[in-house]
Amino acid sequence: MIEFIWNLASFVVALGILITVHEYGHFWVARKNGVQVDRFSIGFGKAIWRKVDRHGTEFVIAMIPLGGYVKMLDSRVDDVSEAQKDRTFNAKSVYQRIAIIAAGPFANFGFAIVAFYLMFLIGVPSVKPIVGEVTVGSIASEAQLPSNSEIIAISGKKTVDWQDVNLALVSAIGDENIIFTVKSVGRTSSQDFNLNTKNWSFAPEKESAMASLGFMPYRANVQAKLALVAKGSPAEKAGLEVGDELLSIADESINGQWQKFSDEIKLYPEQSVPVSVMRNGKALTLNVHPEAKKIQDKVVGYLGVQPVSDPYPKEYLFDQAYGPITALEQSALKTWNLVVLSFDMIGKLITGDVSVKNLSGPISIAQGAGNSADYGFVYFLGFLALISINLGIINLLPLPVLDGGHLFYYFIELLTGKPVPEKIQEIGFKFGTIALLSLMSIAIFNDLSRL
């Protein structure tokens, strides 16, 4: 329950910030172009707070924090006096209307640059992308990708951490080949490895891009010894304690391998199974009853423990931090790369290279907001930047109910010299509403299926 409240609160804060930024973009450019703004609303439904400024604009915070809007004076829907006509939205030139509508999404992109800039100034604790285990017979193995090597680029895209690697791999979906540029740790010379991905089958809802290619990140050695037993967990209820050394499960020795124990415990959801441990020099056998937990469409056993892990090699860790000028360059570059990647993914959704199962809705966003807030302010900034970019991209889609749909009509007006007929606009709005609701339904269904 506490986790739900935390996720919900983080979601409301994140969405509130991003919606305010988006709508303020419309509001500011409308004001600069002499348009009367009647209402600036964050959220929908009943107002829980309101204030009217000296320009007559009503600022509102409403009950349902899933959107917002800027209501501008428009003679097509409002009763407008002769003196007010030049302050109506529809009286402005098509270029001014394009600027006002485009300002919302571009405000989101600008916010992402600012968020990344602050993130890079503060510094992000990061891990170098060192290749760990390579699965025999996999795509990575066939290409002879070496373990314990650092990935410095993927198909020409620089990779300084695992997030860069993930983004580069996702952008390569549908490509017949992916070029990995790697180097040995501590060396400067590099080597290219060509991964044949013509038959690459990647299901993001089931595994990571790296796992589907057959390699995993380097992990420090993990001991078969308990470092943490979660309060109220099945492990605590069974009597397991911090410091217990795991010996066997279901009367089968794990040979000191934490991964073997972890894999075995997943096979016993809502079932009792004996676990033997060494405690203070004495062997004990306890019956544990793992809870059932759904992970990537599978129900597995959950015990609620963490193992003792050896320290990560210092040469694999670094702070991704820059000075004021470089941080600005890097934040703009990161925003641009994510914008390009987002449009690329939309294209691959249309062509079928990426499944609609990858769409996420408000539940996933809420979980992401809560998790990033758990890690700290700098990670929450990164999450805000990512969602802000996606909000900007979504609003630029050429669906008539979105900013992109309005822009599409205005560009037609630029080409033809006259506005799109209102009847055609009405049909477009109905189509756009159906399309948007369909996408939202798929995203929410995906969210629920992942719970």
Could you list the active site residues? 23
Closest CA to 286 of 309, 265, 300, 259: 265
Position 289: which residue type?
H
CB 405 within 8 A of CB 399: yes
CB atoms within 10 A of CB 324: 9
Estimate the crossing angle of helix 324-351 against helix 377-396, to 10 degrees.
50
* Nearest by Cα to 126 from 427, 375, 403, 406: 375
| Cross-strand pairs, 217 | 131
Q: Which residues of 134-143 are buried (b: 16+ CB within 10 A; e: fewer)?
A: beeebbbeeb
If you count them, how many residues does the chain have? 451
| Secondary structure (DSSP) of 160-186 | SSHHHHHHHHHHTTT-SEEEEEEEETT
Backbone angles phi and psi of 182, in degrees to 5: -130, 160
- Alpha helix segments (H runs only) across 195-296: 209-213, 234-238, 258-265
- Neighbouring-strand partners of residue 318: 126
Q: Which residues pair with 285 in a beta bridge?
A: 276
* 56 class by beta-carbon count within 10 Å (0-12 exposed, 13-18 middle, 19+ buried): exposed
Q: Provide the sign of the torsion angle of the four alpha carbons 76, 82, 85, 87, taken in this order.
A: negative
Distances, alpha carbon 298 to alpha carbons 70, 205, 309, 361, 450, in Å: 44, 11, 26, 21, 10
Distance of CA 40 to the CA centre of its chain: 28
CA distance 44 to 366: 18
Contacts of 413 by beta carbon, 8 Å cutoff, 6+ apart: 94, 419, 420
Cβ within 8 Å of residue 191, ≥6 positions away: 181, 182, 183
Crossing angle of the two packed helices 377-396 and 403-416, in degrees rounded to 10:
40
